[in-house]
Homo-oligomer: A and B are copies of this chain.
């Protein structure tokens, strides 16, 4: 396991639970490497030259910046070399390794919170059919939803996930800030938020759209903007997203 951050920790745990032996943890940061290695009850190293070259699989759960450097400087070419990055092409391994692929679990990992792998999709890609079968076998031991996609599709998926997850969470933060000068706790919004996501099981996001923008209720929108008058950035985001909703629904529903 190359890397000892959020993805490395959750993936290594899931692989171990599925019966795989994690031979060794590598991280250039000793505290991270030793923390993960002790959780997994295995060895660790902070040197690329000390990585065990007898492993069957090398998982690179590294920041995008570090990935290429590590691939080039970890010289061994036995086993299958697999990265877990959403936006890096599989061909980053080309010229350096013989057997390689990508293993991309679609999830938002926070160190503080456990994640069940079995319900989350894993997207795989490999440089040949045999390696694809190997990755498929591993993925199916930790997830019920394994899908083969290309590097280009994975990039689209990653962008889509940023909108659906990272940006959505940021809107929750803005929402909690708006409530912070009232006596209303943010948690009152949780049933509404849950219903918003529950709707997606039965309606498309387009069909599920509600609110003043899709109703073209300019009076309400103006009142909302006025009530945000001391917060120019929130006003700006309110306007941009309302305009975008209006445009999308005018065009499609026309």
Contacts and interface: CB of A to CB of B under 8 A. Distances in A.
A115 B195 CA distance: 8
Given A107-B192, A192-B106, A182 B205 contact: no
Given A192-B120, A202-B113, A224-B162, A169 B87 contact: no
Interface string A167-207: 11111111110110111101011111111110111111111
A135 to B, nearest CB: 17
Given A149-B182, A149-B183, A159 B227 contact: yes
A205 B107 contact: no
A208 B244 contact: no
A173 B206 contact: yes
Contacts of A170: 205, 209, 213, 241, 244-245, 248
Contact of A121 (B168, B191, B213): B191
A161 interface: yes
Contact of A106 (B157, B183, B188, B223): B188
- This protein's copies in its complex: 2
Contact of A210 (B169, B171, B211): B169
Interface of A: 6, 63-65, 86-87, 106-110, 112-113, 115, 119-121, 145, 147, 149, 153, 155-176, 178-179, 181-184, 186, 188-197, 199-215, 217, 219-220, 223-224, 227-228, 233-234, 236-238, 240-241, 244-245, 247-248
Given A106-B188, A166-B245, 19 more contacts: A64-B217, A106-B192, A108-B210, A108-B211, A112-B202, A121-B191, A153-B183, A156-B181, A157-B188, A161-B175, A162-B212, A162-B224, A164-B196, A165-B189, A170-B209, A173-B209, A186-B200, A194-B197, A240-B240
28 contacts: A6-B210, A109-B210, A110-B203, A112-B203, A120-B192, A149-B184, A155-B223, A156-B182, A157-B182, A159-B224, A159-B238, A160-B178, A160-B179, A163-B172, A163-B175, A165-B195, A166-B209, A166-B210, A167-B238, A167-B241, A168-B171, A168-B193, A169-B196, A170-B241, A176-B204, A193-B197, A233-B244, A236-B240
